[in-house]
């Protein structure tokens, strides 16, 4: 039986640039580096950056993205840091909770979000998406 997400690997075209972004801008902890990769972490997340010559910096264009959690107090501080780093915003927030959607240096679509599954479900119970069904008691 699955117990959780083990790790997330992102293909990157420039390891040093990506390492600097995730370490300095997003403030992930660097655990290890080697010629073609790096391991970084946050509580509950193991992130691998893997150098890949096939990676293009073009965003995929669909809604696939990776969202990081943060507190409401930290949200404006991080968004300001992201804007100061000239990240490209790829979407406006359309759901509950403060969110900022941006691209990393290789075009991976990321989000920082205030809230969790419980707060999202609570908001959806108040205003469900079209055809939405819930599978537990409120």
- Domain count for the chain, please give it: 2
Range in 25-29, 42-46, 87-91, 94-98 with the lowest mean pLDDT:
94-98
Q: Which of 111, 120, 121, 124 is catalytic?
A: 111
- The top-scoring range by mean pLDDT among 6-20, 56-70, 85-99, 123-137 is 6-20
Does residue 126 sit in the same domain as residue 64?
yes
Domain with residue 83: its CATH number is 3.10.180.10
Does residue 108 sit in the same domain as residue 79?
yes
Does residue 27 sit in the same domain as residue 66?
no
Does residue 132 sit in the same domain as residue 83?
yes
Residues 102-130 have pLDDT tens digits of: 999 999 999 999 999 999 999 999 999 99
Does residue 37 sit in the same domain as residue 102?
no
pTM score, whole prediction: 0.88
Q: Which domain holds residue 120?
A: 56-138
Does residue 65 sit in the same domain as residue 44?
no
For the chain, what is the HEC assignment?
CCCCCCCEEEEECCHHHHHHHHHHHCCCEEEEEECCEEEEEECCEEEEEEECCCCCCCCCCCCCCEEEECCCCCHHHHHHHHHHCCCCEEECCCCCCCEEEEECCCCCEEEEECCCHHHHHHHHHHCCCCCCCCCCCC
Does residue 92 sit in the same domain as residue 109?
yes
Residues 32-65 have pLDDT tens digits of: 999 999 999 999 999 999 999 888 766 677 888 9
* Domain boundary, last residue among 10, 36, 54: 54
Our answer to whether residue 111 is catalytic in this structure is yes
Does residue 8 sit in the same domain as residue 41?
yes
* Domain boundary, last residue among 13, 32, 54: 54
Does residue 108 sit in the same domain as residue 60?
yes
Does residue 112 sit in the same domain as residue 75?
yes
């Amino acid at each position: 039986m699955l117990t959780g997400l083990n790790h997330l690997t992102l293909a990157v075209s420039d390891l040093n640039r990506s390492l600097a972004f995730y370490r300095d801008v997003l403030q992930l902890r660097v655990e290890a580096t080697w010629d073609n990769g790096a391991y970084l972490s946050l509580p509950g997340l193991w992130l691998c950056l893997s150098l890949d010559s096939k990676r293009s910096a073009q965003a995929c264009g669909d809604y696939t993205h990776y969202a990081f959690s943060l507190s409401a107090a930290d949200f404006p501080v991080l968004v300001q840091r992201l804007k100061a780093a000239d990240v490209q915003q790829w979407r406006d927030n359309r759901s509950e909770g403060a969110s900022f959607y941006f691209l990393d240096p290789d075009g991976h679509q990321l989000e920082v979000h205030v809230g969790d599954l419980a707060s999202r479900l609570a908001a959806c119970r108040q205003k469900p998406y079209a055809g939405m069904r819930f599978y537990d008691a409120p």
